[in-house]
Structure 1
Amino acid sequence: MEDKILILGDTHGNFEIIKEIFRKEDTTGKVVAILHAGDLGVYDNFSLGTFDEFVGGRLSQREARLIVKHENPVDEFQAYIDGDKEFPVPFFCIPGNHEDFELYQEFTNGKREMKNFIPILPDKVYSIELGGKEIRFAGFGKITPHPGKTGLAQHFTKNEYGTIWNTLKENPVDIFLLHEPLLTTAKRKENYFVFGNSVITDLVENSKIDSVFIGHMHFEYLYNVKDTKVHGLGYGVVGKYCIYHSDHSVTFHSLEDKEIVLKEAMPGSHLQRIRQEEQRRLELKKAEAKEAKRIKREMGRLPYDLHWLQEKFPIKIETKEEKKDFKQLFLKICELYYAKKPEEDILVYAKDWLEQNGKL
């Protein structure tokens, strides 16, 4: 049976879905480790506080209300803290922007420990044996500070960014976990939008990484940055995940075996270029429509029409579809007419065209 690594993100307190995915994949191969790209939902009985007022807990009222709004479970991690449940294989994770960060820090600073639960630190490179070979990986959690909102727990600091930069500079890795995406342009229906941050792009571009796995956006995408493959992870809450195989290939999956459709995405911000191209296409379409109207007006003034054509040649034109077949002919006749060509030349051209197009 094949060794494999289960990679997912954004399960938002739903540890049962992780268990279900593990069971499914462990029956068709050996899952040697689980990697989680943030928004795991590290909460305990003291995270929310008084449920109806959202006070007295460690989480902000805004964060608590988001949990309730999205019906994210907050009690499932407590069983792991109490030792009633445990992760079946080494479980490596980075923080997202929706965690109880005070509780999470107790695991990163060694105040708390849990079997097989390993928070990834930015100053370390980790390794797993996969198919008889060593897989090296690192991770960097949280999100980029927003202007005017620096210093919040869900934002990484300059020192943390500097630490992971130095770690990756000195250590090539096979896998790199992120919660904040690289600066990316993606397509939603007919429109494009930009997400992520260029500081993360700089980090990846200046490091030797084979594959990046990113949470936060809740949809799948895939593109390359130089020699690095960038994978956007689907929404873990609904059973979306990736499998990293022993040959270093990656496949996207869902718990219910639904088809995974990758969203069109590309590195960098391309909105200005895309909008300029769309504007050019729109202007070209308008110009073509304007030219079509002009031609229609000019053709309306021609002494040569379908009746004239049927009088000169043994053909029948009855339906609208049949009329469309002669559009190119009359465009040329129009051109010849305004070039002041005699009717004899126009008749010669019309006969040749009719014969070449099987109308005679």
Structure 2
Amino acid sequence: MSKLVTIFGGSGFVGRYIARRLAKEGWRVRVAVRRPNEAMHVKPYGTPGQVEPVLCNIRDEASVASVMTGSDAVVNCVGILAEAGKNGFDSVQAEGAGRVARIAADQGVETFVHLSAIGADATSKSAYARTKGAGEAAVQAAFPSAVILRPSIIFGPEDDFFNRFAGMFGPVLPLVGGNTVFQPVYVDDVARAAVLGVEGKAPAGIYELGGPDAHSMKTLMKDMLTVIRRRKLVVNLPFFAGSLMGWSFDLVKKLSFGLVKGPITADQVKLLRQDNVVSEGAKGFTDLDISPVAMEAVLPDYLWRFRPSGQYLAIKESAKNLRHG
């Protein structure tokens, strides 16, 4: 019988790529999510019944234990960029990660992969980075042989980075942390690394995953604008202005009981004060024998819809050249 892997958050941005790859490798894939009815898109990744969404809340002990029963491997992809209701940074990224790892160890799971982030640090001023660091410590304490992946900003068709900025209207593109350096990594490269961990082909430890190029946020936005054929003034806002904006948006969110969400939070501004690149001497793609894909090879494949004429822009440009000829 095929081996079984449970992927917590397996219908999300990164999780779905891991689920697809493992299904192709012949694994039975159990996708543990809070809303299984909204995760049906994962079922076609394999043969009928091979990939199944199941109900689970990472904050609930019995729920986590139930969906993990009989699993040979576990992947935890659950993470949040902003708190909402009971899904706080501590409950999800620290306590939740530790809970999954502890129960996996108790049930005799063979391999464990945990998705963290570059910048994870239990002493960070950012609640996001601090709880990511606490989550890593909890995972390693409960499951010492775990493979922990720390990607930089992740890009791909479903990302909330380039898609978000490309969809902004107006002649000006304001940025907080325009000089902060990122090392964008392709989502499927992260999935490839996770699969190696699941299959026991990656030694235990922490791997920092970054793409082949590192650029400032401002440069990344200019590259993105070139891809979508848009001209905008990219303005780098000072951090004190970003902090004020984040604090204001957080207040509005609180007063509206979470109904109104701003484009940035105060905690995200704290994150932007630190570069998001692979640390010197850290294990990474090279140790996994993976050659990461460059942004320019992927961005045009999914950002074309933000161009002035969308998918028809190339045809119009070609026709224009013919007329000049």
Task: With the length of structure 1 as denominator, give the TM-score of the two structures.
Answer: 0.29
Task: With the length of structure 2 as denominator, give the TM-score of the two structures.
Answer: 0.32
Higher helix share: 2
